[in-house]
Structure 1
Amino acid sequence: MKNSIYLIFIVSVLVSLAACKKMETYNDPASSDMTKPGVVTNIKVDNFNGGAYITYSLPNSKNLLYVLAQYKINGVTTRETKSSYYSDSIMVDGFAKKQGYDVTLYAVSRAEVKSDPVTVKVNPDTPPYLLLKPTINAEADFGGIKITGTNPLKNNLGIILLNVGDNNTSDVIDQHYGKTEIFDYSVRGYAPVAKKIGYYVTDNFGNISDTTYKTVTPFFETLLDRGKFFQYRLPSDGIIAYGWDLPYLWDGKTDGNSNGWHTAPGGAMPAIATFGLGISAKLSRFILWERPDGSDKFAYGHGNPKVFSIWGSDVAVPRDAQLPLSAPVGTVIGDWINMGNYNYPNPPSGLAPVAHTTADNDFVKAGVSFNFPLTNPKVRYIRLSVSTTWSNGTFAHAMEMAFYGDPK
């Protein structure tokens, strides 16, 4: 028995030593064959915005490992792209302009021996960051600056906003990156005084567009006094449930341990809540605090609004109206006008709603801001109309709402 245990021990040691020997040599060349590979042939180029696909025939070299492309994207920065010997094409991208560029191709062996170079000319079309730049518009918004632009190819691009001082010095005040087709956001926190700004576009490759300068004067904006809000119940409003009455929607409490607004299950959708602002104001935006995780995982679930609309009225005593599940912004039904249609954002983690993370829940707890169109009229009454919740149920709930605008 002892001899058997000793034999097993010796075998284990030998296996471990062999494994260590393999680990020590894993960086050695994959081949000792130093033969130079042949060159790629039958080269064809298919250009696209900011880059090109290059197809070719591989050399008849037994030790071929990959094809290497070397090129300058802006006259200074050199990029390298590799494609394995299983493929007959390679992509080169990141070019700064619509013009011709030289790309040098090498076939590379398993021993890292390069073939003779082959140079091919590519002529990429206008890079995505230069497609976005001329579409950008920076205009005055409530308490700040509204930025819009179109990114037709949905590339990951960044709009950089600059503050320009009296002596023409500039510093970055905002960086907004995204790969959506439409850029539409606001940079806030500025007084209603003239402000000189600049903006440019950049991409993942370090390319930078020219800078546009202009002067904008933000509109006045203030947080409306929630102490003036009042319940204005209409017949088509959702029936309140569990003691979560409407005034809790503006009591300043946003945590999951407090009450909010809650309608009864089994009600008709949309689930509606109607209340007065206590003042007539041109609204700029609002913040919605949905119900965060608590005793259960409420965030991105239960009756939290997923698709909803805001309707408003400036009539002194607005009448009830049956609101539809959806309607275009600006639609007028009786005394009410559709002021905006909204989709609550998906979990920032990118995970499915049911699998959201602690950070996703923190996002919910912080509240989400939504903009009103600048063309909206002044209103003194609000209807929150929830057409779809995260659970696709027949009830809705929310913790808190706050509204910003100009009551003058």
Structure 2
Amino acid sequence: MKSIKNYSLLLLLLAVVLSVISCKRNDGARVPISTDNSKPGVITNVKVNNYNGGSYITYQLPNSQNILYVLAKYQIRDNVPRETKSSYYSDTVTVEGFAKEQDYDVTLYTVSRADVLSDPVTVKVHPKTPAYISIRSTTTMTTDFGGVNVKAFNPLKKEIGVIVTAFNKATNTMEIQDQHYTTADTIDYSVRGYSTDPRSFGVYVTDKYGNISDTLKKSITPLFEQLLDKSKFSPYNLPSDTEIGYGWVLPNLWDGKTDGNSAGWHTNPGHTPPFVCTFNVGLTYKLSRFIIWERPDQYAFGHGNPKLFSLWGSNVASPQDAQLPVSSAVGTVVGDWTNLGNFRYPNPPSGLPPGATNAADNAFVLAGVNFNISISAPAVHFIRVAVGQTWSGGNFAHIMELSFYGTPQ
């Protein structure tokens, strides 16, 4: 019995000691992981491989077990220092973010486990043209409905920002109007909300390192656009339109109701793409854009909501029926109908997979998504929506609401 008590006391003392050790204050000071304070050797056999906006520097490490990493120090533009590191497992350090295509000095150190730096080794790098500059050289700005359209190419798919400015008469200055950040290889978007008065616009490109291109400046007169009057819309049923299901009739597409408690347009299950509906917009319009509201809540990014769809139009007095293809090039003509554009609904903004989306993704659906129609598209009096693929890949489709903008002809 005595031995059991002694054993219990020993366990209690051990627990107290462990508790004291675990509760020791951490003041945040970095403690070297080695007591070897000798200066490490330098890297040798240095080689440089330049790319757009950066360089790969390869080297041979000194024969030492005490090296933790290689440190590169450099400036990407005047008075803007930058550092990058590469572990001792690697023979390459990457230096990037340079503002121009020119020579730059990069100073390299080996760093020991005791945080001791070697003597410096300085090499010259000459990065190729940074992406933000090459993207700016492809940038164009043209008049569009209610504003300007910006196009550019980003073949390297770098993280860049396209910044649009406009002249403000009240402040007598050019002010930022829109900041469009993307890694897409093709940039094509519009900034709207302006009157038809001539105005000075500008656009420049920036990158994640704070580099800024020169500004493309242009005086542009935005084209007039208006929201199409939905009271003039009416169904224009054609034989190849997909059968309506659940009483969700076509006029629900323009009744102004977008929430999940309302009805939209819904096809009957059991059909194959494309799922098509046709309607008359009342007048002839040159369309500029449209907003689509898909079914929200538990149906967001799923069920019969369109993922891939196209818009077709006709300005014939009484356009005849035609079987629309599942996919076709913009401008394709089938009978009396012309493909006005092919569209893909965006992925959930959260990055979560469809079916596991969050409240912010649902708010995105409820707000509606805007799509541009090419300024080269013909004027139309009748519209057909053709859903080529839904998020579920099923045999039916549904949309809550559509709004169109354009100029009456």
TM range (shorter): over 0.9
Structure 2 residues without counterparts, runs of 5 or longer: none
Structure 1 residues without counterparts, runs of 5 or longer: none
Query: What is the CA–CA distance in structure 1 between the aligned matches of 2:261 and 2:345, rounded to whole Å?
Result: 22
For 1:339, the aligned partner's letter is L
Deviation per residue, 1:19-39 (Å, 9 max, x gap): 344956873211121100000
Deviation per residue, 1:137-185 (Å, 9 max, x gap): 1111111111110011110011111123468622111111111101111
Deviates more, 1:98-107 or 1:160-169: 160-169
Describe how 1:9-408 pairs up with structure 2 within 5 A.
9-21=12-24, 23=26, 27-165=30-168, 169-293=173-297, 297-408=298-409
Query: What is the CA–CA distance in structure 2 between the aligned matches of 1:206 and 1:343, rounded to whole Å?
Result: 31
Query: What is the CA–CA distance in structure 2 between the aligned matches of 1:4 and 1:366, rounded to whole Å?
Result: 68
- Secondary structure of the equivalent of 1:213? strand
For 1:280, the aligned partner's letter is T
Query: What is the CA–CA distance in structure 2 between the aligned matches of 1:195 and 1:155, rounded to whole Å?
Result: 31
**What's the offset of the Cα at 1:18?**
2.4
For 2:282, the aligned partner's letter is G
Query: What is the CA–CA distance in structure 2 between the aligned matches of 1:386 and 1:77, rounded to whole Å?
Result: 51
**What's the offset of the Cα at 1:268?**
2.9
Seen in structure 2, the aligned counterparts of structure 1 residues 35 and 397 have a Cα distance that, compared at 3 Å, is same
- Secondary structure of the equivalent of 2:295? coil
**What's the offset of the Cα at 1:54?**
0.3
**What's the offset of the Cα at 1:75?**
2.1
Deviation per residue, 1:76-125 (Å, 9 max, x gap): 20100011111111000000101111100001111111100000010100
Query: What is the CA–CA distance in structure 1 between the aligned matches of 2:388 and 2:5, rounded to whole Å?
Result: 76
For 2:64, the aligned partner's letter is S
For 1:225, the aligned partner's letter is D
Cα RMSD over matched residues? 1.5
- Identity across the alignment (%): 58
Query: What is the CA–CA distance in structure 1 between the aligned matches of 2:10 and 2:329, rounded to whole Å?
Result: 81
Aligned residue pairs, count: 405
**What's the offset of the Cα at 1:60?**
1.6
- Secondary structure of the equivalent of 1:353? coil
Deviates more, 1:164-173 or 1:384-393: 164-173
For 1:375, the aligned partner's letter is S
- Secondary structure of the equivalent of 1:186? strand
Query: What is the CA–CA distance in structure 1 between the aligned matches of 2:181 and 2:207, rounded to whole Å?
Result: 9
Which contiguous aligned blocks of 4+ residues in structure 1 show a shift greater than 4 angstroms? Answer: 1-6, 21-26, 165-168
- Secondary structure of the equivalent of 2:231? helix
Deviation per residue, 1:205-251 (Å, 9 max, x gap): 11111112110011000000111100111111111111100000100
Deviation per residue, 1:226-281 (Å, 9 max, x gap): 11100111111111111100000100000010000000000132110101001111
For 2:47, the aligned partner's letter is K
Query: What is the CA–CA distance in structure 1 between the aligned matches of 2:223 and 2:120, rounded to whole Å?
Result: 60
For 1:367, the aligned partner's letter is G
Query: What is the CA–CA distance in structure 2 between the aligned matches of 1:264 and 1:174, rounded to whole Å?
Result: 42
Instruction: Name the TM-score, length of structure 1 as normaliser.
Output: 0.96
Query: What is the CA–CA distance in structure 2 between the aligned matches of 1:341 and 1:333, rounded to whole Å?
Result: 15
For 2:205, the aligned partner's letter is V
For 1:221, the aligned partner's letter is E
- Secondary structure of the equivalent of 1:201? strand
Query: What is the CA–CA distance in structure 2 between the aligned matches of 1:270 and 1:358, rounded to whole Å?
Result: 30
Query: What is the CA–CA distance in structure 2 between the aligned matches of 1:55 and 1:218, rounded to whole Å?
Result: 52
For 1:219, the aligned partner's letter is L
- Secondary structure of the equivalent of 1:254? coil
For 2:357, the aligned partner's letter is H
- Secondary structure of the equivalent of 2:307? strand
- Secondary structure of the equivalent of 1:354? coil
For 1:340, the aligned partner's letter is G
